[in-house]
A and B are shown apart, each in its own frame.
Chain A
């Protein structure tokens, strides 16, 4: 997966959680949680969907690395290179 694919995947998962989420003014370097009003339970859904769709086991200590769209791409790019 390319970085762009990964970002699209994250947005698709978020859209699945909240179909009214508005991505128009999303800043890829700012926390997703603040911009999209996601709570910790929603955030867990992103982790769980990544696990379900791509068998990724993301340890809790790495959750902060999924904070922004760009940091998601940084973190997931090596993990999803063959996906």
Chain B
């Protein structure tokens, strides 16, 4: 088999890249190793119900008229309509540093400005300056690492506020410990605080189905259960892939969205990241009977919390660090139909090595998963009120679960600490897009796929 353009990985960046190319040339093949597309944002069936694997919220909310907003640029580039996303905006989210302070934010940026003005009056002017500086900063110009934390500490006199601003942005996209690159911070600040969050009605499956239908309508091809074993190459030129089934597919160009080291492994090259620490996570989904948890807040969408005094975003020494995390209430988006069940989701930092070490003993692993779900619930109940009486089903993803289903090395959802921002891997006709190209979130990763196709692929045909 021979195709002009091959995309490896059916996550959102690969899907967007394939759609972008197919708009002008249907001779594109998308390969996905699993039976379902979506990558980090996929779904599974349990307890006669569909569950989303990774989705809390989609960042980068924008009104239809705002042409320059990433969401609207993406829709134009892929010729999608807003209906494809079936947008439901967040109600209100909150950063809770227990015993210290809390800040509300929503899709109206003025809310967090007002919150900061009233709760951190000494930093109010500084925050205004920060916004002005970020407005004039171009995060897409490739530049060496610059510490966002230091940048914030230079502008804002309140250290607590610096931690509170970093907390959601780190949890929703930092692949490095206790800091972020200033460019990454700027992108995330815009996408979460200045633009905001939404989710599709229905589940992520409806969005994925609509994207796939659009891709097929344009003439693009897809194969699932098609893992790549090897990328065939000769010096700087790649000329095909061998699938795990043994089949060879020759091709003109390849865009890989499966990660930097994961791609290098297919070329029989050593990883580039060396010993850099990858951040793993655990996530628990609690499915609740809605009538039995009446006290669960209806006016909070996502809560980013920290219980531990100063905020640490780093690989814990124990399997899970419960001292901070994210609580997502997926039913609390505007105008969603009422349902008889609700969900609460929790995310915490985790230690991949420790989960790996215990996994050899199936019973101990299962027991640690249960303990994790129980402890996480207790931490959550302190913040959102009791819901244990309403639980009808719960499931926990460890870094090993995430690694197995998303093929992200060590279950590090935000990928390699080192990013290849220009997508250039040193080959004439193989490029990188997705998580390790450095754009994150659903809209960011889709734009990553689009921009890599624009820059490296379209002009070759």
Knowing A18-B67, A48-B24 touch, does A41 contact B454 (C-beta < 8 A)?
Answer: yes
Question: Is residue A60 within 8 Å, beta carbon to beta carbon, of the partner chain?
Answer: yes
Contacts of A39 in B (CB 8 A): 68, 73
- The B-contacting residues of A in range 18-52, CB under 8 angstroms, are 18, 37, 39, 41-42, 44-45, 48, 51-52
Question: Is residue B459 within 8 Å, beta carbon to beta carbon, of the partner chain?
Answer: yes
Closest to A16 in B: B79
Question: Is residue B276 within 8 Å, beta carbon to beta carbon, of the partner chain?
Answer: no
Report how far A31 CA is from B459 CA in the complex, Å: 23
Contacts of A51 in B (CB 8 A): 24
Report how far A45 CA is from B76 CA in the complex, Å: 9
A-B contact count (CB 8 A): 25
Closest to A21 in B: B67
What is the interface size of chain B, counting residues whose CB is below 8 A from a CB of the partner?
Answer: 13
- Contact flags B337-349 to A (C-beta < 8 A → 1, else 0): 0000000000000
**Cβ-defined contact, B76 with A17, below 8 A:** yes
Report how far A37 CA is from B72 CA in the complex, Å: 13
Question: Is residue B77 within 8 Å, beta carbon to beta carbon, of the partner chain?
Answer: yes
Report how far A51 CA is from B68 CA in the complex, Å: 25
**Cβ-defined contact, A37 with B67, below 8 A:** yes
- The B-contacting residues of A in range 40-68, CB under 8 angstroms, are 41-42, 44-45, 48, 51-52, 60
Closest to A37 in B: B67
Report how far A51 CA is from B461 CA in the complex, Å: 9
Knowing A41-B454, A42-B76 touch, does A52 contact B67 (C-beta < 8 A)?
Answer: no
Interfacial residues, chain B to chain A (CB-CB below 8 A): 23-25, 67-68, 73, 76-77, 450-451, 454, 458-459
* 14 A–B pairs (Cβ distance < 8 Å), ordered by A: A18-B67, A18-B76, A39-B68, A41-B73, A41-B77, A41-B450, A42-B76, A44-B454, A45-B76, A48-B23, A48-B458, A51-B24, A52-B24, A60-B459
Considering the complex of A and B, which 3 residue pairs feature the smallest CB-CB distances, nearest first? A48-B24, A52-B24, A37-B67
